[in-house]
Structure 1
């Protein structure tokens, strides 16, 4: 009688372990770590080049961005551009490799479907201006990651720009050209992907195998107990 009781208890142990999913925490931790490593893209900053009222402004015109972030320029009418400059030479190209969108003409008061995106690869200050004649002199300029010590500010740049003469870069370069529709579609797709369940199919499969194996172990144990009796 004692042998029968011992056999039944022994056969129940694997089923109890399976019920509490014993030993599965390691797989869950690994899966979570892998998911964290796949997320590396930074946020996207949208800058309005002018606006529906036709103001000679960038909005925002002074902000910070980290390496890996993107800056998306949205154009309003009638005609504007965005070009890279330096603090020392307002309204002039930074160098031969300065980014430049080229002049973008927009009719009406709405936003142009054409956009240009800057990939941020450094935390150094990035000064930019509108290269349409007289726009930069009127204050249409901006900066990304201005020095925090106040030695070089956007207000200083704009003040110096009043006495400058706008020079446009010689070629369109350094920015990724796209459209508002594709940008919206991409953002929607990314949001949908991040909202989907993250349950790991491999873990589920291993869980099913574990249940089967433990169940078979219990049957073998019960049979072994019967032979002893």
Structure 2
């Protein structure tokens, strides 16, 4: 009878160690992992393609974005597009894989319900222009991650574009994610991210408390077994 006592106590110690009873480390680790996952999503940069006044502009036209960020284009009237170029050859497709939204025609002074999003996968400079006839030559251009050393600037690109005899549009609509405009795009995105983080943290806490609960029950069972064997 007494010989089994050390074995039972050892089993109790192992059960408690497995679940980190009382240390809270399981909850901390899981919650930290959840918070890390929630914070890994990038920022969304909204760019207006023209505006209510019909200006030949991108606003903002000089964007700094990290890998994992998105750049979301909102179109105003009358007709505009988003296309990828190079600094060396303004108002022309960068290559056969250059992204292109196609021409988007918008009536009225509000933004089109159709939007296009570019997923940033590099910090290299991305030069952008409107491929609708003569818009690029008249300064409708933008850049994502212009070189920090100032060797290539948007102003330089626009100056070179003004000398181009004609704008060339990419042959294929590609490279951008098509979507539908929400009137609260930014707040919705932020709210969803925060909710996901809070939910993940809450679930992590519930999971950890569940582990502690079962550890406590296991410990109670072991103690009961010890006293039962002593009584016998």
1:205 counterpart (202, 206, 210) = 210
Distance 2:136 2:101 in 1: 15
- In the alignment, structure 1 residue 84 sits paired with structure 2 residue 89: no
- Cα contact 2:50–2:75 (8 A) shared by 1: yes
SS in 1 for 2:202: coil
Query: What is the match of residue 196 of structure 2?
Result: 193
Aligned positions of 1:1-229 closer than 5 A: 22-39=21-38, 40-164=40-164, 165-181=166-182, 184=185, 187=189, 189-196=192-199, 198-200=202-204, 201-220=206-225
The number of residue pairs the alignment matches comes to 210
Cα distance, 1:223 vs. partner? 5.6
Partner of 2:6: none
> TM-score, length-normalised on structure 1?
0.81
1:38-82 deviations in Å (ceiling 9; x for gaps) = 333211111110111111110110021111111110000111101
CA distance, structure 2, for counterparts of residue 26 and residue 96 of structure 1: 53
Deviation per CA, 1:64-117, whole angstroms, max 9, x where unpaired? Answer: 111111111000011110100111111111111111101100000000000001
- CA shift for structure 1 position 218: 4.4
Tell me, which stretches of 5 or more residues in structure 2 are unaligned? 1-12
Deviation at 1:206, TM superposition (A): 1.6
CA contact (8 A) 2:139 2:161 kept: yes
Q: 1:161, CA displacement in angstroms?
A: 1.0
TM-score after normalising by structure 2: 0.80
Query: 1:137, 1:130 → 2: CA distance?
Result: 9
Instruction: For residues 164-199 of structure 1, give each alpha carbon's deviation from its aligned partner in whole angstroms, at most 9, with x where no partner exists.
Output: 121111111111111114994973544432333524
Q: Distance in 1 between matches of 2:105 and 2:60?
A: 21
Secondary structure in structure 1 of the residue aligned to 2:30 = helix
Bigger CA radius of gyration: 1
Do 2:92 and 2:169's aligned partners in 1 also have CA atoms closer than 8 Å? yes
Counterpart in 2 of 1:6? none
Q: Distance in 2 between matches of 1:213 and 1:162?
A: 78
Q: CA separation in 2, counterparts of 1:220 and 1:172?
A: 72
Return the offset for 1:214. Answer: 2.9
